[in-house]
Structure 1
Amino acid sequence: MKSQSLLRPVGVLLLLLVPTLALPINATVVCLPTTWVDILIFFGTNYFAHAATIPSIPGVPWYDNVTWTFIILLLPFSGLGKSFNLIIRHLRSEDSDLQKAVGRGAVAVVTRSRQWEPSVNPEEVYVKLPGNFYESKGGSFARIEIQPGLWQGHFITTAINHNRMKIHGRFKLPERMGYEIAIPTPTALPEYFPVRSTDNRAITLTRSNSHVKMLLSIAQLVYSTITIYRTRGNQLDRYGYAAFGLSVFPYTFMSLVNFICIGLVGEYTHLNLLRTAIMREAEGRGGSFDGAIGSIEGGGRSSDGGIEKVEGGGGPSDGSIEKVEGVGGPSDSSVEKVEAGGGPSDATIEIVEGGGGKGAPVDRFGKLSTGERWTDFTRTELSMEDAGPSGRILVVKVGETTRKFRYFPPTAPTAKPSNDIAPPAYDIFCVSPYSNQNSIPPGGYSIPGRLRTGGWVADMFLTIFPLALILPYVVNFALSGFHERGSTLAERAWLMAWLSSGQLVLIFFMILFSAIPHFAPSSVHPVVFAFFLVIVTIFAIPAVGGFVMVGKMLFEFGTCSLAP
């Protein structure tokens, strides 16, 4: 099915493109003085039209898409990492609508923020207890710490400003209780949400294959191909490998990639909220979430009664996780066998149920192979009591054991105050921001660390780099032979700097989208955005210089058309 859906848009493109390229073209051209209208037409059809074909980011405000469009207009290869990322994630994900939407970044979850605190009413919360919990005495200090959503440099969730986003349905977060909306990382979500359960696989979500963008991609692809073809002759004789018509090729290549991406992956206008355990907790505190999708219970297990087999993608990063029987609680016993095959890096990982470090899966490189060591979390009942002027009391109940601590709020200073009185020592109770469990739920699964990103990153490197880094120079050499002809040093320098800077920024965006697949300028931390802006500005300088050189050469050369 995946191959058929991929061939459909490519087949339509070939049906339209091959007859066009097969037409007899008269090599005789007529050149007239260039006007500003001619320059606008050239720039619009060869550059600006490409920018209108890029896949949009689900749910973001209009100015995010405008910002992204402007960046890709200057640096066309910057969108290559994004589009290939979407295509590969789509092909490697399973066939359910929910998992396709997760891979596209069109799903959001409710998470605990750093300001989260226990309720005054007892709640079931899975916590990493301090080592001295059972020996601790009453009256000592304690605080709640939200574990960072980061695993071996990989973001588990990324918080967003939900007031700016378009989210399906109507929702209300509990006020001032430490909850926020975040985008989950596709490879980490199955560890805490049963994406493979019967109910969740049956979810139907709508997506759009924008026919307008697909038609624009075809039109831009055909027009820019003709522009490159018409570079032959007087233009190459005058400017050599700096001919302005050759600058169109990166945009032609990206229009083809965008056409495949939109036709295959599609677009989502809104984010869909996923009904997770943390959302259920937020509802218990007065939150409401109309229109949320999915079920944390999942409607039962799969037919074999366990976690279904996880197949890795093709190539050297192939992997499979055999099913786990009887996962569902702290007392469950389970053995999980992970096989990673396809090359010299073959490894077998066995996960045996147990507490603490012994139950944590470790591969032969000594790295944890799951995003969390779930057995480290203990089922507790947390609540808060008012202690009057002296503060609040944190009540932690584990089975029949109850301990009370003087609560140290998350906003309290941890550094030594100015009066040289050191803050009190305190115990730390760690809570997950995105899950409330101590085992992977039935219908969920875990992907070992090397298989989380290794497979699709390898796919991207094997497909993108040979095409993006070599093909532009192959086309240039085939047409110009890399002869300078009458071009100036400035023309050659700016045009080549424009091309090479676009290829270099491709590496930056590949790294960016591997860490934050759902990256949108307004949804990231200001420091990340500032760094992103600096990088884009630096790489945009050659692009601006390239545009200026193209306009200059157009005025000098004139506007050419085929002779009647």
Structure 2
Amino acid sequence: MNFTLVVPNGTTNHGNPHLLCTPPKWYDVALFYFANYFAHAATVVSYPGQGTLETALAVVKALLLPGTGVFPAAETTLRHPALIRGDALAQANRARALCMVVKSRPRRLCFVNNPRRGIAALRPNNFQLERLDAKHRWWECKSAEGRVSMGSTIHGEFKLPRGYDLNYVPLTASLEFAKPGEVLVDPGTTTESMTGPMFLDYSPRLESTYNFPKLFVSLAQATWACVTLYRARGDQIERYGYAAFGLTVAPYACMSIINIVANLLAPDYPSIFLVRTPSMDEAEAKGGYCSGELHVKINPESAVMHDEYTYSAAESGILGVLLSLTPLAIIGGLSHFRNQKSTSIQRGFTMSWVVFGIFTAVNSASVYSSVDYDWSGQRLLGNGRFSSLGYAYKSSLVLRNIYFMAVWGVASIGGMVVVGKMIAEYGICTWI
């Protein structure tokens, strides 16, 4: 039995009787962009207390350079806080949802080169490395990589005097909620600001949720991307080689899969919780104040940082680069890196798009760490008001991200334009 189908002008099968390709409409190209690029970027893993501005910038960067969306997922996977059961404080700390007040002037920056042998600290006067013992009070040393971002949402309200800053609680800190009526005083500490008792109900609830909508979206996008990659086989690769527009989805598919794993391994914390430490008491004695913080027991055992492996941003970046190499392997495996009939412009933009996305997995982290700011005396959280320095931080962050995307995102924008032209040339195809 024969059927007669009326097809638009320009319809072709590219020599395959089982393929039907019709000229695309503008919304066909837009749908391809949205389903294969835009929606993937929205699944990027967010940090606890991450602000709206930083989230928006992360999504835009992941859209242009998918490697930047791999870095937070890699760091979250390394920390895997969801695997810690029965200890809400330890889980929140592993997720980087706990912070503390630290002295910022004079700065005592600690660079953990080898946690098993000791800590190299930078002297503020002559910038000479000094080897310190690996055992020290966890609230006394400010990590160079542990500074809390100015755009983060902090639970409660506080204002810090000059000379104090916010830092994440080290992973090596042993934390335990204070029981009712228990005096939180370290017997080995003689600081006058710690002589008063502090009380709190035992084991308060730390608000956290699993972002199942984002998880389901990531799963759906990863599935759709795999379908797009599958459909890229055959005539599309034979026509365009490794520059085939269907293969440009590979980095976004890998990003969604990695984000699925990261979202399963980490609950979402809408805010970062302050932990009361002797440094916070000292800050309050100098005119600062804090409310809504967590009270923990501080004793000689828990006050000492023991040798324990910690994950630095560099290690997360290395893992991010290794994971970002996966799309390159997929493209090579499907196309064998053959040119076929693709032009040099098509190959140049599509491969630059992929390669730049790989190496920006590390460079993107430096955009946030390079923004200089000081918490002390500048910002009051909890009531929605920001100081002039808070706005200066936002402006600096936006400008640095614009510069970052302008330098590295040119290939991505050019690649999207080339993909649109290839779709217009190749058509929207259906297997029949």
Provide TM-score, normalisation by structure 1.
Answer: 0.55
C-alpha distance in 2, partners of 1:522/1:474? Answer: 43
User: How far off is 1:42 after superposition?
Assistant: 0.6
- Is the partner of 1:289 in helix, strand or coil? strand
Partner of 2:101, secondary structure, is: strand
Contact 2:237 2:244 survives alignment (8 Å): yes
Counterpart residue number, 2:355: 500
Q: CA-to-partner distance for each residue in 1:385-408, whole Å, 9 max, x for gaps?
A: xxxxxxxxxxxxxxxxxxxxxxxx
5 Å-filtered alignment, 1:302-381, equals: none
Indicate conservation of the 8 Å contact 2:215/2:263, yes or no: yes
Give the deviation of 1:32 after TM superposition: 1.1
1:342 matched residue in structure 2: none
Closer/same/farther in 2, CA of residues 557 and 534 from structure 1, 3 Å limit: same
Question: Tell me, which stretches of 5 or more residues in structure 2 are unaligned?
Answer: 1-15, 112-119, 123-142, 180-199, 372-389
CA distance in 1, matches of 2:330, 2:104: 51
Q: Report which of the two has the higher share of strand.
A: 1
Q: Which amino acid aligns with 2:301?
A: P
SS in 2 for 1:561: strand
Task: Give yes or no for the alignment of 1:103 onto 2:94.
Answer: yes
Report if the CA contact (8 A) 1:235-1:243 is conserved.
Answer: yes
**Other structure's SS at 2:24 match:** coil
2:274 alignment counterpart: 273
CA spacing shift, 1:41–1:32, aligned 2, 3 Å = same
Match of 1:290 in 2: 291
* 1:66-465 pair list within 5 angstroms: 66-90=56-80, 95=85, 96-114=87-105, 146-151=106-111, 152=120, 155=144, 157-158=146-147, 160-161=149-150, 165-169=152-156, 171-173=157-159, 177-178=161-162, 181-184=165-168, 186-187=170-171, 190=173, 194-195=174-175, 202=203, 204-285=205-286, 287-295=288-296, 297-298=297-298, 441-448=300-307, 451-453=309-311, 461=318, 464-465=320-321
Q: Structure 1 residues 533, 276: closer, same or farther in 2, change over 3 A?
A: farther
State the 1:197 CA deviation.
Answer: 7.1
How far apart are 1:485 and its partner, in Å? 1.7
The separation in 2 between residues aligned to 1:93 and 1:179, in whole angstroms, is 37
* Cα 1:268/1:468, change in 2 over 3 Å: same
Match in the other structure for 1:41: 31
May I ask how many residue pairs the two structures share in their alignment?
Answer: 348
Cα distance in 1 for residues equivalent to 2:222 and 2:310: 34
Output one character per residue of 1:173-232: Cα deviation in whole Å (capped at 9) or x when no partner: 26xx426552326347x2xxx425776995542322111101101110111111111111
Q: What code does the residue aligned with 1:241 have?
A: Y
- TM-aligned CA deviation for residue 452 of structure 1: 3.9
Contact 2:71 2:361 in 1 (8 A): yes
Q: Which residue identity lines up with residue 28 of structure 1 in the other structure? A: H
The separation in 1 between residues aligned to 2:321 and 2:146, in whole angstroms, is 29
Structure 2 counterpart SS, 1:147: coil
**What is the aligned partner in structure 1 of residue 332 from structure 2?**
477
Deviation at 1:102, TM superposition (A): 2.4
Shift of 1:41: 0.8
Checking the alignment, whether the CA contact within 8 Å between 1:49 and 1:220 is kept in structure 2 is yes
The residue number in structure 1 matching 2:418 is 549
* In structure 2, distance between residues paired with 1:291 and 1:501: 43
Which letter maps to 1:480? S
- Contact kept, 8 Å, 1:224 with 1:249, in 2: the verdict is yes
What letter matches 1:468 in structure 2?
S
Indicate conservation of the 8 Å contact 2:328/2:354, yes or no.
no
Distance 1:522 1:77 in 2: 28
Report the equivalent of 1:359.
none
Q: Is the 8 A contact 1:240 1:485 kept in 2?
A: yes
Contact 2:158–2:289 (Cα < 8 Å) also in 1: yes
Contact conserved, 1:93 with 1:99, CA < 8 A, in 2? Answer: no
Equivalent residue of 1:485, what SS? coil
Which residue number corresponds to residue 490 of structure 1? 345
For the 8 Å contact 2:241–2:337, the answer to whether it is kept is: yes
Question: Residues of 2 paired with 1:246 and 1:27: CA distance?
Answer: 23
Instruction: Compare 67-76 and 198-207 and name the one that shifted more.
Output: 198-207
SS at match of 1:158: coil
The answer on whether the counterparts of 1:187 and 1:447 sit within 8 Å (CA) in structure 2 is: no
- CA 1:251–1:465: 2 relative to 1, 3 Å: same
Change in 2 beyond 3 A, CA 1:499/1:522: farther
* 2:345 match: secondary structure: helix
Distance 1:544 1:238 in 2: 22
**Partners of 2:317 and 2:50 in 1: CA distance:** 25
Once residues 264 and 425 of structure 2 are traced to their aligned partners in structure 1, the CA distance between those partners, rounded to angstroms, is 40
The amino acid of 2:413's aligned partner reads: V
Instruction: For residue 102 of structure 2, give the secondary structure of its aligned residue in structure 1.
Output: strand
What per-residue deviation string (whole Å, max 9, x for no partner) do you get for residues 267-315 of structure 1? 11112111111222233455443321132x34xx6xxxxxxxxxxxxxx
Residue 37 of structure 2 aligns to a residue whose secondary structure is helix
What are the Cα deviations for residues 378-428 of structure 1, in whole angstroms up to 9, with x where unaligned? xxxxxxxxxxxxxxxxxxxxxxxxxxxxxxxxxxxxxxxxxxxxxxxxxxx
CA offsets, 1:224-263, max 9 Å, x none? Answer: 1111111112211221111000000110011011111112
Alpha-carbon RMSD across the aligned residues, in angstroms, is 3.6
Distance 1:558 1:231 in 2: 12
Asked whether the 8 Å contact 2:367–2:400 carries over to 1, the reply is no
Q: Which residue of 1 aligns with 2:114?
A: none
Give the Cα separation in 2 of the matches to 1:542 and 1:283: 51
- Structure 2 letter corresponding to 1:443: S
Structure 1 unaligned residues grouped into runs of 5+: 1-25, 115-145, 302-440
